[in-house]
């Protein structure tokens, strides 16, 4: 693991930090300066805020906390503190101009490289600080996803082009699978770069259930729309129904009806809605309503993780559905290589032992669960990463979208957002209880 060997840490940290920065640069260099300082949506920061915030977090954690260096720009800390300033007010802050923000982030990174390349990792404080490098690389990748959302919200012609090849694809053997009942290990105590909310590993009893082998597609979602799903309160959480009625919501965000068919706009390009792609840009309320209409429900967070990690032949929880190896291009649609989800049935090499596909990448998947700490949770390294959000108005999303970096993707990774949000790269899959005679009792004789 990166923590065990300083040389392995050096190589891995250089690699993940460089990958993140390449993406950050692309996202902030493909539009002109006025688009970097503009606010494209009150839900988002100006791109130039994200850029300097990335640099500022890196300065605070890697240069000041880990390497013990003096502050480079202490006066800007408060401008880039996400808790001091909500997104809507960030455009009015004294932000670094685009060229200054690029220079600042670059200078911080140069110093971090000097620290990492210094010859004395062994026995230095760095040896105990492996986590900070992983945390900062994940932080930058998370903001790269945030910035990609801003790109999707901006008006005007495409600034990004999708040059990815068609992903590997193979027919799904069944629309859903039975996950046997019994306990499994949820969360992790051993993954070196897991964030505090993924810890610690603990046993969870999960009764037998069935879960979709692929995320719900646009075609399936259109059947719900065509059946008057948005107008029928029977399917909706009352708050969700009030919201879609009040706002006149009748389709996923970025969809528009023209003639008899639905079109969607994605990164400046308008196209017919592809029936076999996972539906994207739906709120938790829409996901929940669709599931009820279909006679099903959203999976709980524990069900989702059991489907993604539990290996019934060994009883172990894997790091990923396909095993313990880090994600490769054959496993999942990650890293913004493709600018949208891949069709249902893609990435057969990434399926779980029970045959559940596309759990990692493609779309974040809403679960029925609120965001809560695991038993034994300890905030690390700061309360504002997770703890202050527990028990709030947040639903957990799992798996990760096409916009998630590999370093921020794991079977244990937890994301959260308000149930109304739909500008995020969110979709879902559905589940249902197994019948009483389908308990699938395990070695533990559960159920
Ligand atoms: C985990 C995606 C909810 O973007 O608010 C970024 C990640 N935390 N900077 C967010 C995060 C601090 C966080 N989410
Ligand atoms: Fe942040």
- What is the SS3 assignment for 41? coil
- Point out the ligand 1 atom lying closest to the alpha carbon of residue 385: 8
Burial of 164 (0-12, 13-18, 19+ CB in 10 A): middle
- Sign of the C-alpha dihedral, residues 17, 22, 25, 26? negative
Alpha carbon of 155 to ligand 1 centroid (Å): 24
Q: Give the whole-angstrom CA distance, residue 2 versus residue 13.
A: 9
Mutate to test the pocket of ligand 1, among 141, 146, 403 (most ligand atoms within 8 A of CB): 146
Any atom of ligand 1 within 6 Å of the Cβ of 142: yes
Of the chain, the percentage scoring pLDDT greater than 70 comes to 95
Measuring CA to CA, which residue among 270, 386, 404 is closest to residue 335?
Answer: 404
Measuring CA to CA, which residue among 26, 24, 23, 49 is closest to residue 36?
Answer: 49
349-371 confidence digits (pLDDT tens): 999 999 999 999 999 999 999 99
Task: Report the pLDDT value the prediction gives residue 443, as an integer from 0 to 100.
Answer: 42
319-349 confidence digits (pLDDT tens): 999 999 999 999 999 999 999 999 999 999 9
Task: Report the pLDDT value the prediction gives residue 101, as an integer from 0 to 100.
Answer: 98
Q: Which residues contact 443 (CB under 8 A, 6 or more apart)?
A: 182, 315
Any atom of ligand 1 within 6 Å of the Cβ of 146: yes
Question: pTM of the full predicted structure?
Answer: 0.95
Ligand of minimum distance to the alpha carbon of 389: 1
pLDDT at 444 over 60: no
Task: Report the pLDDT value the prediction gives residue 440, as an integer from 0 to 100.
Answer: 57
pLDDT at 445 over 70: no
Q: Give the whole-angstrom CA distance, residue 376 versus residue 383.
A: 15
Query: Tokens 């046997």 belong to which residue?
Result: 180
Tokens of 192: 């070196």
Nearest CA to ligand 1 atom 8: 385
Q: Residue 435 — very low, low, confident or very high, per pLDDT cuts 50/70/90? A: confident
203-214 confidence digits (pLDDT tens): 999 999 999 999
Any atom of ligand 1 within 6 Å of the Cβ of 415: yes
Any atom of ligand 1 within 6 Å of the Cβ of 60: no
Q: What CA–CA distances, in Å, run from 213 to 175, 308, 368, 390?
A: 6, 11, 18, 30
Q: Beta strands 261-266 and 269-272: pairing type?
A: antiparallel
Nearest CA to ligand 1 atom 7: 142
Q: Share the mean pLDDT of the chain.
A: 93
Tokens of 168: 């590997």
Q: Minimum mean pLDDT among 151-165, 220-234, 407-421: which range?
A: 151-165
- Point out the ligand 1 atom lying closest to the alpha carbon of residue 146: 4
Nearest CA to ligand 1 atom 12: 385
Q: Give the whole-angstrom CA distance, residue 414 versus residue 369.
A: 11
Tokens of 136: 């900062």
Please work out, in degrees rounded to the nearest 5, the angle formed at the alpha carbon of residue 136 by the alpha carbons of 133 and 139: 150
Alpha carbon of 140 to ligand 1 centroid (Å): 10
Q: Give the whole-angstrom CA distance, residue 178 versus residue 82.
A: 42
Nearest CA to ligand 1 atom 14: 415
Ligand of minimum distance to the alpha carbon of 150: 1
């Amino acid at each position: 693991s990166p923590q065990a060997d300083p040389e392995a840490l050096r190589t891995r940290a250089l690699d993940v930090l460089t990958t993140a920065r390449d993406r950050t640069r692309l996202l902030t260099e493909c539009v002109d300066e006025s688009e970097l300082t503009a606010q494209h949506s009150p839900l988002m920061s100006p791109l130039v805020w994200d850029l300097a915030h990335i640099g500022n977090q890196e300065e605070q954690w890697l240069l000041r906390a880990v390497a013990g260096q003096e502050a480079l720009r202490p006066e800007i800390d408060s401008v880039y503190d996400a808790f001091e300033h909500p997104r809507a007010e960030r455009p009015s802050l004294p932000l670094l101009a685009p060229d200054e923000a690029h220079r600042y982030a670059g200078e911080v990174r140069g110093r971090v490289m000097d620290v990492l390349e210094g010859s004395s990792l062994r026995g230095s404080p760095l040896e105990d600080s492996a986590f900070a490098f992983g945390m900062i690389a994940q932080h930058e990748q998370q903001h790269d996803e945030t910035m990609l959302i801003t790109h999707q919200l901006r008006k005007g012609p495409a600034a990004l082009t999708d040059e990815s090849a068609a992903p590997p694809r193979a027919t799904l053997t069944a629309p859903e699978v039975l996950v046997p009942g019994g306990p499994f290990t949820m969360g992790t105590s051993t993954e070196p770069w897991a964030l505090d909310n993924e810890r610690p590993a603990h046993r969870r009893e999960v009764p037998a259930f069935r879960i979709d082998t692929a995320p719900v597609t646009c075609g399936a979602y259109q059947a719900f729309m065509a059946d008057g799903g948005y107008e029928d309160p029977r399917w909706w959480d009352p708050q969700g129904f009030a919201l879609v009625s009040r706002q006149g919501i009748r389709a996923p965000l970025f969809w528009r009806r023209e003639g008899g068919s639905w079109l969607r706009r994605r990164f400046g390009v308008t196209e017919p809605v592809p029936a076999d792609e996972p539906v994207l840009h739906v709120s938790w309320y829409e996901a929940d309503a669709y599931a009820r209409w279909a006679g099903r429900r959203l999976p709980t967070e524990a069900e989702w993780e059991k489907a993604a990690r539990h290996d019934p032949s060994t009883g172990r929880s894997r790091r990923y559905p396909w095993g313990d190896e880090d994600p490769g291009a054959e496993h999942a649609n990650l890293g913004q290589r493709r600018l949208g989800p891949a069709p249902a049935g893609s990435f057969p090499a990434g399926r779980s032992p029970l045959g559940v596909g596309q759990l990692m990448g493609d779309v974040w998947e809403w679960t029925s669960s609120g965001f809560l700490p695991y038993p034994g949770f300890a905030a690390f390294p700061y309360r504002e990463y997770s703890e202050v959000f527990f028990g709030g108005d947040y639903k957990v999303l799992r798996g990760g979208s096409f916009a998630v970096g590999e370093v921020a993707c794991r079977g244990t990774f937890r994301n959260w957002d308000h149930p109304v949000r739909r500008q995020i790269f969110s979709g879902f899959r559905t589940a249902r209880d197994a019948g009483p005679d389908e308990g699938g009792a395990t070695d533990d004789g559960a159920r």
